[in-house]
Chains A and B, each alone.
Chain A
Amino acid sequence: MSEAPKIAVTGLYKSFGPKQVLKGLDIQVEPGQSLVVIGGSGSGKSVLIKCIIGLMRPDAGSVRIDGRETTNLSGSAREAVRSKFGMLFQGSALFDSLRVWENVAFGLIEGERMARREAKEVALAKLAAVGLEPTVAELYPAELSGGMQKRVALARAIAKEPEIIFFDEPTTGLDPIMSDVINKLILKCVRDLGATAVSITHDMVSARFIADRIAMIHDGRIVWDGKAGEIDRSGNHFVDQFIHGRAEGPIKMPVRSL
């Protein structure tokens, strides 16, 4: 079983009404690998991640985690698969009615029924791992800056020591310095846990920094997939246009969405 890819997605289709977002997407992630999926807005990156986690059900295709089909799971079987996952959301998605440490300890207290006192210890350790002082733990998320919220969200994502961590646009909305801090923290956390990581981003600085492997998604399919170091020599017009940020090229950005 150790040879099975950590995540294997084959022939994934998903549409919303008349709009087809994923059109037979295939991708695999090996254990311990850090894959970054790049692509423009509306290319289906977020939908791909949501289908893998099971927040959305694909119209067709298969998602295997550790060799096990997960697309039709529900109830406790779904929860068992989800317990392997951690996710850092784009807008941090911290629970604003709970204190910082309760946010970080949430999965431990509610998901794993750990005692609150014990969970708080873990939460403080995880907050320290992302460079936050214990004094921050008693604050509410609304009292923190965007960069601090991202750190708390990262601490929450790694609190249960997941096998697979998803990062949804981890640096969007942050200044370049804070982006670098978050990128370094992501790299450190993923390495410390030995976790498999899947990130989606359109920030090429971030992508180059955290990726072992980069895949480019366009129009619901993977159009390029290779080692992070090879992205400048991809010979792929889609990738070239994207990493150099040119308006002209094979990728046409719809000016009108409908």
Chain B
Amino acid sequence: MTNILQPIGAAVLIALEQIGRIALFAIEAIGLAFRPPFRLRLIGRQLIDVGYYSLPVVGLTAIFTGMVLVLQSYTGFTRFNAEAAIPNVVVISLTRELGPVLAGLMVAGRIGAAMAAEIGTMRVTEQIDALSTLSTNPIKYLVVPRLVAGLIALPLLVAVADIIGVFGGYVIAIYKLGFNSSAYIKNTVDFVTSLDVVSGLVKAAVFGFIVALMGCYNGYHSRGGAQGVGAATTNAVVSASILILVFNYMLTEAFFSR
């Protein structure tokens, strides 16, 4: 019996140690974020990278998700003559769940990977050591702007994604399924509550932070040349994606269970 339990225990210990390290890394970065100098230039550059350049990817994801949601719920709901509930279902699933989760996953692939690769390369080419010798704290210079950008950019992206997704659903409902345009819009607007939208935006902020944190953490601790940077990039994307799904459940629980 102990033969089976030992590797499980060892794996749990490694996982806990890793969680502890990530938490300490995050705490150090958050502490530094509130200490001047505040590098607005760097934050701005990251915001453009994380936010603006992710718009096409996130927008495409959102529009097709909205479209497919309408198609699928239509095939189900017509059996119960409940077509009127479709706008409601679409807007709530997009704002509460699909908008933030899918945007988070797409940004994890796009931005988390890029952050890990960039910072990882800086680590293995000694550029991070060079920062230290030039009286610049590498965590403050490299990590803090990325965390701040993730935290700010993702809610903005998700707000846009929500609108685009609902629009995608609207287009399919009106032009393919023959819904009445004004009734569809009225049903959408009447049913959606501020809690639906706000909970989605809070999730987005958490996911943005997670993506940037995992990208920076894995890159910062990469070692061993090109292979190490590759491993860091993979780890950044995989760990961020899983954490997004885990935190999504916990945040849903916190917002909506009573």
Contact = CB atoms under 8 A, between A and B. Distances in A.
Interface string A82-114: 110111011101111000000000110011110
Contacts of B141: 110
A55 B134 CA distance: 12
A38 B104 CA distance: 51
B127 A93 contact: yes
Nearest to B129: A55
Interface string B131-143: 0111111000100
A53 B126 contact: no
Nearest to B134: A107
Contact of B129 (A86, A89, A106): A89
Nearest to A111: B135
A53 B135 contact: no
A93 B126 CA distance: 5
B56 interface: no
B136 A55 contact: no
Contact of B134 (A50, A113, A156): A156
Interface residues of A, number: 25
B130 A53 contact: no
B37 interface: yes
B125 interface: yes
A79 interface: yes
| Of listed A53, A54, A106, residue having the most chain B CB within 10 A | A106
A112 B126 CA distance: 22
Interface in B101-144: 122, 125-127, 129-130, 132-137, 141
Contact of B135 (A90, A95, A96, A110): A110
A96 B133 CA distance: 17
Contacts of B134: 106-107, 110-111, 156, 160
Given A110-B141, A113-B37, A55 B132 contact: yes
Contacts of B133: 53, 55, 82, 85-87
Contacts of B135: 79, 82-83, 107, 110-112, 160
Contacts of B137: 79
A238 B30 CA distance: 50
Nearest to B118: A97
Interface string A44-55: 000000100111
A110 B133 CA distance: 12
Contacts of B37: 113
Contacts of B122: 95
A118 B85 CA distance: 65
A255 to B, nearest CB: 21
A89 B126 contact: yes
B132 A93 contact: no
Contacts of B136: 106-107, 110-111
| Of listed A50, A53, A89, A94, residue having the most chain B CB within 10 A | A89
Contacts of B130: 87, 89, 93-95, 156
A52 B126 CA distance: 16
B170 to A, nearest CB: 42
A86 B133 CA distance: 6
Contact of B125 (A53, A54, A91): A91
A83 B126 CA distance: 18
A247 to B, nearest CB: 27
B115 to A, nearest CB: 13
A100 B34 CA distance: 30
Interface in B148-185: none
B24 to A, nearest CB: 14
B43 to A, nearest CB: 15
12 contacts: A50-B129, A79-B137, A83-B135, A87-B129, A91-B126, A95-B127, A106-B134, A106-B136, A107-B135, A110-B134, A110-B135, A112-B135
Interface of B: 37, 122, 125-127, 129-130, 132-137, 141
